[in-house]
Amino acid sequence: MSDAQTRSQTALKESILGEIESALGPRLEEMYNRHNDLEEKMDKQLHKIDKDLAGMFDAIRSLSDNVASSSPNPSPDNNSPSFSPPGPTTTHDSHRPRPTPSTPYSGMTRLAKIEFPRFSGDRFQEWLFQAEQFFSIDNTPEDLKVNIASVHFDGLAANWHQSIVQSELGQSVLSSWPAYKLRLHERFEDILDDPILELKRLQETNGIVEYHGRFELLRTRVNFSEDYLVRHYLAGLQTETQMHVRMFQPTSVRQCLLLGRLYEQAHPKKPQFFRRKDSEMRPTQVEKTPEKEYAPQKFLTNAEMVQRRKDGLCYYCPENLQGVALNFSVERKKFVRF
């Protein structure tokens, strides 16, 4: 290849590169400018987010400081710079979870929608459980529990409370919530109600879901371990379901329910057809009506037939043929007339 050809190819390449640079140069510059603009916008957004977060943290810190300063029994915090030990004239019991008698009780829970359960004398254990839950959430002082509970009594329970107030033991019972609960238990607890016996007699009759609902109502009234409850739960299941669940060796009532539901879905119950009793399947006997007895028909001989024709008698009855023919002609005339 000669030098002239080499120079021409080099010049051609340079011209092509120049055209490419002239065509792509503005686009590359535009992309570079866009990239710089995006970086600036992102920096501004990040700076704004940092500023907002700093403001939020300051607001939370100031709010926590206000709550701590307004709290009647602030807990000690060794890491807080604003904490100062109490003076010699003030004493604080930071280990008491409940407010002291000197602290005013607001009488309202933090969850405003929670209402104290009412009691009219029925379902005592369920009401007592809900009442204890309310006292725990509300942090109710011991000396106010009886008054709060009694104002929510209706009917028979309200009459009973009034009798307690008027009795000689009224003051001693009304000032102690455990003593008041004992009196409630003696008055409204069903003596014949034995949840342990009901739990042993419980049997599955209409599917495991319905059985589980009845089991949960009873388990809240007994204090058994999970292992003991599982054994009672399995004992009440139907034989097919029980054998299937036992194969997996469940350790909780929840596992028993899940395994039982899976078995019922895999083996749906077929509709049962009840077989009738033998007495109902026997055919009914129809009484036969007595058959009429017919006299044997007498056949005429040729001589008798000739003699009857001469006498004008019928072959099968003693009627006169002339009278029969006359009646037939009269009836025929009536029919033609109409």
232-289 pLDDT tens trace? 899 999 999 999 899 999 999 999 999 999 998 888 877 666 566 565 566 666 666 6
Computed over every residue of the chain, the mean pLDDT equals 76
Could you tell me how many residues make up the chain? 338
The identity of residue 33, as a single letter, is N
> Residue 207: left if φ>0, alpha if ψ -120 to 50, beta else—which one?
left
Residues 159 and 202 grouped into a single domain: no
Q: Work out the pLDDT band at 89, boundaries 50, 70, 90.
A: very low
The pair phi, psi for residue 320, each rounded to 5°, is: -85, 130
Same domain, 179 and 202: no
Is residue 152 pLDDT above 90, yes or no?
yes
pLDDT for residue 97 is more than 60: no
- The whole-angstrom separation of Cα 202 and Cα 220 is 15
Look at residue 308 and tell me if it is in a domain: no
Task: Provide the pLDDT confidence category of residue 1 given band limits of 50, 70 and 90.
Answer: low
87 is a domain residue: no
Asked if residues 247 and 260 have their Cβ atoms less than 8 Å apart, the reply is: no
Chosen domain end from 266, 289, 313: 266
Write out the H or E segment, with its range, that includes residue 304: helix 302-311
pLDDT category, 86, cuts 50, 70, 90?
very low
Is there a single domain that holds both residue 206 and residue 172?
no
Predicted confidence band at 145 (pLDDT cuts at 50, 70, 90)?
very high
Classified as helix, coil or strand, 338 is: coil
The boundaries of the domain holding residue 21 are 8-62
Domain closes at, from 188, 212, 246: 188
Q: Does residue 46 have a pLDDT over 60?
A: yes
Q: Specify whether 126 is located in the same domain as 173.
A: yes
Amino acid at 314: C
What's the rounded Cα separation, in Å, for the pair 257 and 208? 7
* CA–CA distance, 141 with 100 (Å, rounded to integer): 8
Res 188: pLDDT? 86
In angstroms, how far is CA 18 from the centroid of its own chain?
Answer: 77
Lowest mean pLDDT among 91-95, 150-154, 240-244, 247-251: 91-95
Q: What's the confidence (pLDDT) of residue 23?
A: 76
Give residue 50's pLDDT. Answer: 87
Distances (CA, A) of 184 to 130, 133, 156, 330: 15, 17, 12, 108
**Of residues 58 and 283, more confidently modeled:** 58
Give how many domains the chain has, as a whole number: 3
CA–CA dist 297, 221 (Å, integer): 94
What pLDDT is recorded for position 80?
Answer: 45
Residue 193's pLDDT is 67
Tokens of 261: 């539901």
Residues 20 and 49 in one domain: yes
Residue 5 has pLDDT above 80, yes or no: no
Cβ atoms 99, 105 nearer than 8 A: yes
Cα distance between residue 147 and residue 91, in whole Å: 29
DSSP 3-state assignment of 43?
Answer: helix
DSSP 201-270: H----S-HHHHHHHHHHHHTTS---HHHHHHHHHHTS-HHHHHHHHHT---SHHHHHHHHHHHHHHSPPP
pLDDT tier at 155, thresholds 50, 70, 90:
very high
Q: Is residue 146 part of a domain?
A: yes
User: Does a structural domain hold residue 323?
Assistant: no
Higher pLDDT, 158 or 81: 158
Same domain, residue pair 169 and 214: no
Residue 84: band (very low, low, confident or very high) from pLDDT cuts 50, 70, 90: very low
Nearest one of 242, 273, 272, 274 to 257, comparing CA atoms: 242
pLDDT category, 104, cuts 50, 70, 90?
low
Answer whether residue 90 is part of any domain: no
Residues 24 and 52 in one domain: yes
Asked if 173 and 179 touch (Cβ cutoff 8 Å), the reply is: yes
Q: Please give the single-letter amino acid code of residue 58.
A: D
Structural domain contains residue 100: no
Residue type, 329: S
pLDDT exceeds cutoff 70 at 62: yes
Question: Are the CB atoms for 328 and 320 separated by under 8 Å?
Answer: no
Q: What angle do CA 256, 259, 260 make, to 5 degrees?
A: 80
> In terms of Cα–Cα distance, which of 70, 77, 152, 134 is closest to 103?
70
- Residue 282 has a pLDDT of 64
Residues 231 and 174 in one domain: no
More confident residue, 95 or 156: 156
Residues 249 and 232 in one domain: yes
Judgement on whether residues 199 and 181 belong to the same structural domain of the protein: no
Q: Taking a C-beta distance cutoff of 8 angstroms, is the pair 165, 174 a contact? A: yes
Co-location of 204 and 235 in the same domain: yes
Residue 55 in any domain: the answer is yes
Instruction: Answer yes or no: is 121 within a domain.
Output: yes
Q: Are residues 206 and 248 in the same domain?
A: yes
Last residue of a domain, one of 154, 169, 188: 188
Looking at the DSSP assignment, which residues form a beta bridge with residue 119?
A: 153
| Both tokens assigned to 293 | 């007895």
